[in-house]
Structure 1
Amino acid sequence: MSFLGFQLRWNSVLLGALVTAAVLNDVPPSYEALVVLAPVIWADRTTLTWVRIRRR
């Protein structure tokens, strides 16, 4: 039996939006945005978990 779990946090959504905007506009993110998002990224707890249980 296998389980796949994914837990997405709001921090990851904000980071993804910032990276997407930077890639689409060919403009690096501003220093202010990085300073504000640095603690948010550091505290992010998004997880991807794979659990496989085997019985004998």
Structure 2
Amino acid sequence: MSDKKTLQEIEKEHRDSHFAEKSMQYWRSWGSWFSWGSPVGLGLFFIETAVAAWIVAQIVK
């Protein structure tokens, strides 16, 4: 048996890895917006915390 890959196998691996890389690049860009270090992510965290505290305060009344 030969350990060499055919041209079709190499092309398929390249296409598959390229697709995965592109889709992960998209999610990485969203992750940078909603991370703890970004103003957007930190702002959303504080807004969600305030809303949760308000809901709890309404229930406790």
Q: TM-score, normalised by structure 1?
A: 0.36
Bigger helix share:
2
Q: Which has the higher contact order (CA 8 A, sep 6+)?
A: 1
